[in-house]
Structure formats: C-alpha cells, structure tokens
Chain A
C-alpha cells in the first residue's frame, strides 16, 4: 500500500458516507489476525484430537455471523430490511387496489388544486390523479427495492471488476485503472449522477439506475483494490504461491473471496445511499418520467414536492418509508462491519 500522505483518503469517501466504511484497510483479515486465527485453529485442532467431542474450528464468516446475531441494533436493521423485502414480494396480496388505476369518482367533484383525502376505501387517500395512495406505497416498495438493488449490483459488479484487476495485477494496469477512478471521484456524488443523467438523450428508469450505479463504481473499486493489496502480502497467499498454486487460482480462490467481505458490507450501506440518490434525482426533475410507476423516491420527489403545501402527506408517507428503509440498510451494514472487524473478535 502507498504511504499515508498520498492516500489517506483512498476509497475516497462520497458525500454523506462514513469514511470508515470505505477505508482502505484490510477489514476482517489482517496478516496478524490470520496469524492469530492460525494459532487458535491449531490450539483447537489439538483439543479436537484429544477430546473428539468438539465439532471443529469456527470459520471467519461463521464467527462474524455469530457476532452479528448478538448485536440487537443490527438485528433491528435486518428486521426492517426483511419486512421491506416481504412487502415488496407480497405487494399484490397486500395492496387493496391496482396502483395505476385512476378512480375518477374521487377526483370528479374536486377543484383543480385539491386532492382527495382518506376514506374507508382509501385509507391514505389518493394522489392527484385519483390513484389509491396506500396501494402505491405498497407497490412502491417493489420499485424502490428494484432501483436500489439493481443500481448497487451494477456498481458492485463494475467496481469489483476494476478493483480485482487493479489489485491482482498491479503495475501499469493498476495505475491506469486508479487514475480512471480518480476522474470519477473528482466530482461530488450527486453532481456526477446529474452529469451522467444529463448525458442521456431521454431520461428513463434506467438512466437513473445507471447514474446511481456508476457513482458507486470507484468506491467499490478502490475498496476492493485495497483489500486485495493487503491480501497479496498475507501469509496464506505467500503459502499458496510457495506451494506452486497458479496465479489465476491464487487471485480467484485465495485473494478475492477474502477481500470481498469489506466490499459486501459497503454494498449493504450503498443500498441506502442508492435509494436516497435516486430520490434526489427525481426531486431535481431528472428521474424516471413514467408517471404510472410507483416508486417512493419518485413519489416524494415529484408529487410530494409539488403538493407539499396542499397535501403534505403525499410527501410524508414516502419520505418516512425511505428514511426507515435507508436506516435499516445502514444499521445492518454497520452491524456487519462491526462483526467482521478483527478488533471485535474474541
């Protein structure tokens, strides 16, 4: 790794993202941790040999998972995420109406500016077009999850590709790829997303997803590269090399899986920022132009903004949903980070 002054902020933190989340440190597996682990495993194997009652060593991941389960805050985050996913899956069963159906009888007798409020059939009222708001909120979980997950996965895939190439080969490939991420990191996140959306001739759901995805590519890339570099220096990679394991197999089977933990934690945190960024783009009028699509960011950014003074609930409901879900992913992600941190291992 390079000296601290040139790269103290590597994995450079995006606005609003906790820098500890993207610190270029080999999360979970430092060489000394591996040494310690080795010692522990050896001790445990000895114990196993003597008293065969023991069921063997605890893997790194299982150890982390056990710690995660004992963290009530992380469990709370996981519960929010689980609820969110369940609502998204069972949306057709939960929603009382079709989210795109316009109930003209609701809007018929109203003046232009007023929006139908709650009634027994429509517990949250309807939006300005006479569509049931509760159903739109329920179906909204689907689209919101879709935007967040797809944007994160695309960003993750591209970032992992760049980071892995960089970390595995080093040299001029690393240099070029890292200068490339420098350029992407030269703009604040939302501004980069705005520029990307402005490039497209027409905005659509995919321009939003791609813009949000690309913003996260350099973060994943730098994070993975950092962990890969740490892996390259580690004892188990040295051992594999000494045993004559082929280069590609060292990279794919020894370095990458160990380096991925930090990236996966970051991906969990990114799910929350991706949803927030998509909402921001909608607010700026750069979002998905499809008015039939029920997505929380879109509902908050477009109608929520336009009718804030007449019917603030149109903003409150999607905003609260976004806040809760973003919080869920953040709590879960931070719990995961704590769980894999070797400092917390006993």
Chain B
C-alpha cells in the first residue's frame, strides 16, 4: 500500500513539473513576447530593456526556469497585470466563492444522484427508470450555460424565487471572516447573511450540478444493475436476509466503487463547469477570474497560477479517489 502511494505521489510530482515547464515555455512564447504583454506595444526600447533585465530574460533559459520554479514553490506568482495586486491575493479572494459553489453543487449531485441511480436500477424498465435515463441524457446534452440562462429566466424573471446573480444581496451586512459567506454568517451569528448566501447559491449550484448529477445517476444505476445480477445477492435473498441488510451490505457496498471514482472525477472537473456557471450568474469566483484574465487582455501571471492550481487540485483529487479504493474495497488493500 505504502509503495503504491509513494509511486503515485512521484508520478504526480513528475506530472506537475512537466506542466510547470510547459507553462514556462508558454509564457516565454507569448504572442508578442512577455515583455510586450506587460508593457503594451508602444513601449520605448529603453523601458523594454529595463524590464527584460528586471525580469531576468537576459539570463540562460535553464537559470530562468530554475528561478521561475523557485518563485512558484514559494507561492510567488508576481502581480496581476490587470489590477496590479499580487496574484496569490487575487486568487485567494476568488477561491472561497468557487469552493462554496462547488461544495453545494456536489452535495446536490451526490445527494440526489446516488439514491436516484439506485432507485432507477431497482425499478428497471419502469417509469422512474425511463425518466431518469431521459433526464440524464438531456443533462449531458444540454450546454450548461444555456441551462443557466433558462433557470435564471424562469426563477428570477417569471417567478421571483431566487436572486439573478451575485453571492449576496446588497444591504445584507456580512462580516468577512473566511470568505465563505455561508460559514461567515454562522461564525458571526449573522444568520440572515447565511440565509441570503444560501439563497443566492441555489440556482448556480443546481446549474453546476447538472453534469455531475447526470453522470452519477448513470454510473450508480449501471453499477447497481451489475451487482443485482450477482450470485451473492440471490444467495442473500434466498437466505431470507432483510431487504435493508441486502441493500446496504451486499448491493450498495459492492456497487459503490465505480460511483466513488465518478464522484471524485466529477469533483476534479467541476472547475470546467464553474467557468461557465460563474459567468452566467456573475459569481466572482475562480471561473470568473479565468474568463476575465483572458478576455480583458490576457493576464498571464494570473492565468498561469490558475492553471497550476487547477491541475494541482485535479491531480490530487484523482489520487485521493484511487487511494479511497483501499478503504472501500479490502481486496485492493492486500495487493
């Protein structure tokens, strides 16, 4: 087990180093060069030379890469071109918004997806099953930003159930402690702020949850169907075990392995959906930051940090998924 973990960690480090090298190459080959990206096209040769020296671009490539890595490892990604603030600060501000959104989305996706998939499998071929199949197919075929606009149109314009955008209403007094608005409200006992933040979360979280929900329902259904055909389930039924016992100890426990993988992979991939969802609801998280860093003149220092961060999260989540196997399935642990 330990050997496997060490090997996976090494692989992960290699992947991240390779990615950082690619990002480094990318930055050096920016359209117009990194100096132009910083100074704009109308810079004087003198200021250009000054910046080249200041950035260390007159030094050998390997030295530059080493310095780049040194800065990356100490968390120094430079300053945002757009705002001039340190990149870590810019990202730090946006981070809680996305994590909050992603967490609620995953709670929705898992909380609805696993039971729904299980029920669909148990009622195979009947109405609930067919509805869930149709729903999941639609879920993976619909452009989620369109779904976002649709939900927004229905629930904020036609019936005013939810606020159209943002994370909190203007006028609601929330004290910023952690940046997680729901949590902040609880910590400072400003429960109206918590309520308001949750109220703002519902539509975006449902939009973001669409794809993971659809995928989780499908995988759970398929996996439970596989297990239902196993001999040991029939044996358990023949033994006269109670339904609850069969469901929990025989079916779900065995069917859960692919579901856990799916949940992990979908969590890692949430940032893709977040970029789209956050734009629809003007959310102001990492997704919004990515969009703004590209469309408002490319903000390369922010982009490179975001890409590395996204990769780190994605790869670590994948690793955790693999390792979680050992805890669910004792057979894996033995190897």
Contacts and interface: CB of A to CB of B under 8 A. Distances in A.
- Our verdict on whether A and B bind, yes or no, reads yes
Interface of A: 3-6, 8-9, 12-20, 179-180, 182-183, 186-191, 194-195, 197-202, 272, 276, 279-280, 283-286, 297, 300-301, 304-305, 308-309, 312, 315, 319, 322-323, 326-327, 330-331
Interface of B: 4, 7-8, 11, 14-16, 18-19, 22, 26, 31-32, 137-138, 140-143, 145-146, 149, 153, 157, 211, 214-215, 218-219, 222, 258, 261-262, 265-266, 268-273, 275-276, 279, 290-291, 294-295, 298, 303, 307, 310-311, 314-315, 318, 321-322, 325-326, 332, 335
A12 B149 CA distance: 30
A195 B326 CA distance: 34
B298 A319 contact: no
14 contacts: A4-B325, A5-B322, A5-B325, A6-B7, A6-B322, A15-B272, A18-B215, A183-B22, A198-B303, A285-B291, A286-B295, A322-B143, A326-B141, A331-B137
B16 A319 contact: no
Given A18-B218, A179-B18, A285-B295, A191 B272 contact: yes
Given A283-B145, A327-B141, A191 B290 contact: yes
Contact of B149 (A182, A199, A286, A315): A315
A19 B290 contact: no
Given A19-B219, A183-B22, A186-B314, A284 B273 contact: no
Nearest to B223: A20
B289 to A, nearest CB: 12
A16 B314 contact: no
B140 A330 contact: yes
B42 to A, nearest CB: 18
A266 to B, nearest CB: 15
Contact of B215 (A16, A301, A315, A323): A16
A15 B266 contact: yes
Nearest to B145: A283
Contact of B265 (A9, A198, A326): A9
A190 to B, nearest CB: 4
Nearest to A278: B143
Nearest to B321: A9
A188 B26 CA distance: 18
A319 B269 CA distance: 23
Given A5-B325, A330-B141, A308 B19 contact: no
A201 B32 contact: yes
Given A198-B294, A285-B291, 19 more contacts: A4-B325, A6-B322, A9-B261, A15-B266, A15-B272, A20-B219, A180-B18, A183-B22, A187-B19, A191-B271, A195-B26, A201-B31, A202-B31, A283-B279, A286-B294, A309-B153, A322-B141, A323-B141, A326-B141
B94 to A, nearest CB: 15
B276 A190 contact: yes
B20 to A, nearest CB: 10
Contacts of B266: 15
A201 B218 CA distance: 40
Contacts of A20: 219, 222
A206 B164 CA distance: 35
Contacts of B146: 300, 304, 315, 319
Given A6-B322, A18-B218, A190 B275 contact: yes
Contacts of A13: 262, 265
Contacts, number: 166
Nearest to B257: A8
Contact of A19 (B19, B258, B315): B258
A4 B141 contact: no
B145 A280 contact: yes
Contacts of B275: 190-191, 194, 284
B329 to A, nearest CB: 9
Contacts of B137: 327, 330-331
A325 B16 CA distance: 37
The 7 A-B residue pairs with the shortest CB-CB distance in the complex, in nearest-first order: A201-B31, A15-B269, A190-B272, A326-B141, A188-B272, A186-B311, A188-B269
Nearest to A189: B272
B219 A18 contact: yes
A70 B291 CA distance: 46
A276 B145 CA distance: 10
Contacts of A300: 143, 146
Contact of B8 (A6, A16, A194): A6
Nearest to A19: B262
A12 B22 CA distance: 21
A140 to B, nearest CB: 14
Contacts of A322: 141, 143
Contact of B326 (A5, A190, A283): A5
A179 B18 CA distance: 9
Given A6-B7, A9-B261, A283-B276, A186 B15 contact: yes
A207 B314 CA distance: 25
A283 to B, nearest CB: 5
Contact of B19 (A15, A183, A201, A326): A183
A195 B303 contact: yes
Nearest to A329: B141
B211 A16 contact: yes
B214 to A, nearest CB: 8
B219 A12 contact: no
A309 B157 CA distance: 9
B332 A5 contact: yes
B332 A4 contact: yes
